[in-house]
Amino acid sequence: MSAPAPSTGGGSAPVVELRDGAVAIGGRPILRHVDLTVRRGEFLTLLGPNGSGKSTLVRALTGLRPLTQGSLSLFGTPIESFREHHRLGFVPQRASAASGVPASVAEVVASGRLTRRRLLRPAGKADRAAVASALAMVGLADRARDSVATLSGGQQQRVLIARALAGEPELFFLDEPTAGVDLPNQQALADALGALSTTGSTVVLVTHELGPLAPLVDRTVVLRDGRVVYDGAPLQLDDAHGHHHPDPRRTDHHPGVAAPLDRTGEDVDW
């Protein structure tokens, strides 16, 4: 008989375990009865129409937005007692790397090490190596000394991703990282996330447009009106129409959760 799984912090515990999660903002229900278990190494995309609750779910999973109902554990630890925030990386939606304060690309990326560094200690060898490696992963090693303000929007987005990568996250949340980003920048992002994924990190990605990220995805969750309406094999995105179709070879969506195309007569634009 196998030993029981450890109850807290164990390596075998799911990275994310949300049970019957709900979020209400100003008394208005935004997420309802959301169950989501994410295992180590998964690359999950979160899809859904505008306003379906994707950003709210990601913020709830990072602990930034408290649940109004249900329970959440990260790495086997209930969110109420979770302190290992250095294990998480988060690139929020529409974030900008330019703060108005002059800062070099390397300085912004180095700020991603702060949760890993002992307070008031100067950056050590490991910090410098992590910053260099993160910049290389997003293809900006040659821009390290440049002011962030001189970079394009897509490159600034990559700087923010490098900042989160520099923290060497085991669980990485990205909210629409490719929105408004040109194809070369999307490809650089896909390369960086592919490299991160091969190290065993878990990725939860909100997106409207998979583009070069599509081959990395091994699971799709679709939200609609704050509920999970699909959880299973990656959906194929029909770029021409902006609609998703399930991969016909795989139909192993979560029992009890309808496939998105089970709905009839609806033209879904997400």
SS3 23: strand
Q: What angle is formed at CA 193 by the lines to CA 13 and CA 55, rounded to 5 degrees?
A: 70
Tell the smallest beta-carbon distance from residue 30 to ligand ATP (Å). Answer: 4
Give the DSSP per-residue string, 199-228: TT-EEEEE-S--GGGGGG--EEEEEETTEE
* 50 is a contact residue toward ligand ATP (CB under 6 A): yes
* 56 is a contact residue toward ligand ATP (CB under 6 A): yes
Contact by Cβ (8 Å): 140, 159 = yes
Nearer to ligand ATP, 148 or 223 (CB): 223
Which span sits near ligand ATP by CB under 6 A: 47-55, 68-76, 97-105, 187-195? 47-55
- Which of 14, 21, 53, 232 is the binder for ligand ATP (CB under 6 A)? 53
- Residue 166, CB-side half-sphere exposure with 13 Å CA sphere: 30
* 207 is a contact residue toward ligand ATP (CB under 6 A): no
Q: Which residue has the tokens 């896909």?
A: 190
Tell the smallest beta-carbon distance from residue 210 to ligand ATP (Å). Answer: 14
What's the token pair of residue 251?
């139909």
Strand partners, 46: 206, 221
* 92 is a contact residue toward ligand ATP (CB under 6 A): no
* 47 is a contact residue toward ligand ATP (CB under 6 A): no
- Which of 6, 9, 10, 51 is the binder for ligand ATP (CB under 6 A)? 51
Strand partners, 175: 206
* 48 is a contact residue toward ligand ATP (CB under 6 A): yes
Q: Per-residue string for binding with ligand ATP, 2-31, x by CB under 6 A?
A: -----------------------xx---x-
Nearest to 141 by CA among 153, 152, 128, 131: 131
* 54 is a contact residue toward ligand ATP (CB under 6 A): yes
Q: How far apart are CA 117 and CA 45, in angstroms?
A: 30
Binding site for ligand ATP (CB under 6 A): 25-26, 30, 48, 50-56
